Amino acid sequence: MDHEADAYRTDLMTITRFVLNEQSKYPESRGDFSILLSHIVLGCKFVCTAVNKAGLAKLIGLAGETNVQGEEQKKLDVLSNEVFVKALVSSGRTCILVSEEDEEATFVEHSKRGRYCVVFDPLDGSSNIDCGVSIGTIFGIYMVKDDHDPTLDDVLQPGKHMLAAGYCMYGSSCTLVLSTGEGVNGFTLDPSLGEFILTHPDIKIPKKGKIYSVNEGNAKNWDAPTAKYVEKCKFPKDGSSPKSLRYIGSMVADVHRTLLYGGIFLYPADKKSPNGKLRVLYEVFPMSFLMEQAGGQAFTGKQRALELIPEKIHERSPIFLGSYDDVEEIKALYAAEVKGE
Ligand code: FDP
């Protein structure tokens, strides 16, 4: 029997251990970030259980409310939002919360206040709930500038100021992908242990991919660079093979595949939605942060996505993100458009 191999297999790197290891690199750290993260992880575990039970527990269905974006709100969205707001406030480490589900930002009451601002979409891709397609939670973390006097400007910062970002995907397995600004790591929930275990250390996105991911139903309204790019994916003129199209329509799942397999995910502007569909603070920024940390790029059609300075908490932006070389191609097409080529 290979005892050494057994010992290795039982030496599990849980997310808690991983974060504490990271924390130990900064002796001045007070452990606040680790505590905040453990509350986010708890929220993810709770939502994972609720998503898995949704069909059985009859949680699926409309809650009869409409959210800020005018979409019908599902019960699971409401539940997930409550879970995360409570988990974040009770951590005692947060100051301002921005949720996709809440019109206004939440300023945490004084007695429970900490130094971090968290922007999040508690259950992204919710139109997929009823058919069992993967959905997820997306989050980004900023540090407040002045914890005695927090203002909305603390969350209206460019994405490059984020300290950390991540998502949790509720799919055939529950996977949490996290970056604290030093690469990207993926953890899978072991349901028997109730622990997230490091399963995807130091994720690097392939430099170029074979997949493009976009809602082609909007093609009629696309601008010229997007239309040209997708045409190139399908009919490459350089002798390379056409790319495959994969579109789930659930951002966490589409981005997760892009991160692991490479390629590009696009939600461009179009004539009907000049700012695209996806929200800057809690969709575009966290996913762009992860892409860059994994060696990829994220571009809005005008600039590096993480340079964008949002003016409103629910602002939207077009986004092209994924493998370095693939995003480079779309950037070249937009640059040519500006030059009038
Ligand atoms: P959903 O509407 O199901 O909540 O921004 C939300 C989002 O899903 C993303 O998760 C997804 O990438 C996108 O919208 C899908 O939009 P389309 O249906 O327009 O393709």
Express each pLDDT in 45-96 by its tens digit.
Answer: 999 999 988 776 665 655 666 666 666 555 888 999 999 999 999 999 999 9
Total residues found in the chain within this entry: 341
Backbone angle region of 289, left / alpha / beta, with phi > 0 → left and psi within -120 to 50 → alpha: alpha
The residues pairing with 167 across neighbouring beta strands, listed in sequence order, are 138, 177
Pick from 98, 100, 123: nearest CA to 43: 123
Contact 288, 310 (CB under 8 A): no
**3-class secondary-structure state, position 221:** helix
Q: Quote the pLDDT of residue 74.
A: 58
The DSSP H or E segment spanning 228 is: helix 224-234
Asked if 67 and 80 count as a contact pair (C-beta separation under 8 A), the reply is no
Residues 181, 165: Cα–Cα separation, whole Å: 8
Instruction: Give first-to-last CA distance, the chain, whole Å.
Output: 67
| pLDDT at site 283 | 98
Report the alpha-carbon distance of residue 233 to residue 73 in Å, rounded.
35
Check residue 203 and give left, alpha or beta (phi > 0: left; psi -120 to 50: alpha): beta
Nearest Cα neighbor of 88 from 38, 15, 156 is 38
Answer yes or no: is the C-beta of 124 below 6 A from any ligand 1 atom. yes
Q: Are 188 and 199 in contact (CB under 8 A)?
A: yes
- Which residues lie across from 165 on neighbouring strands? 140, 179
Q: How far is the CA of 269 from the centre of ligand 1 (A)?
A: 14
Token output for 312: 């409103």
Q: Which atom of ligand 1 is nearest to the CA of 127?
A: 3
Which atom of ligand 1 sits closest to the CA of residue 252? 10
Instruction: Give residue 208's Cα distance to chain centre.
Output: 21
Which residues, including other chains, have CB under 8 Å from residue 231's CB and lie 6 or more apart? none
C-alpha closest to that of 98 among 174, 146, 157, 48: 157
270 lines ligand 1 (CB under 6 A): no
- Ligand 1 atom closest to residue 248's alpha carbon, by position in its atom list: 12
Ligand 1 binding pocket includes 69 (Cβ within 6 Å) = no
Per-residue pLDDT in tens (0 to 9) along the chain, 341 residues: 455 655 556 789 999 999 998 888 877 778 999 999 999 999 999 999 999 887 766 656 556 666 666 665 558 889 999 999 999 999 999 999 999 999 999 999 999 999 999 999 999 998 888 888 999 999 999 999 887 889 999 999 999 999 999 999 999 999 999 999 999 999 999 999 999 999 999 999 999 999 999 999 999 999 999 999 999 999 999 999 999 999 999 999 999 999 999 999 999 999 999 999 999 999 999 999 999 999 999 999 999 999 999 999 999 999 999 999 999 999 999 999 888 87
pTM of the predicted model as reported, rounded to 2 decimal places: 0.93
Distances (CA, A) of 321 to 110, 177, 276, 286: 38, 16, 14, 11
In this prediction, residue 1 carries a pLDDT of 47
| CA–CA distance, 212 with 206 (Å, rounded to integer) | 13
Cβ atoms 260, 142 nearer than 8 A: no
**pLDDT tens for each residue of 276-317:** 999 999 999 999 999 999 999 999 999 999 999 999 999 999
Cβ–ligand 1 contact at 24 (below 6 Å): no
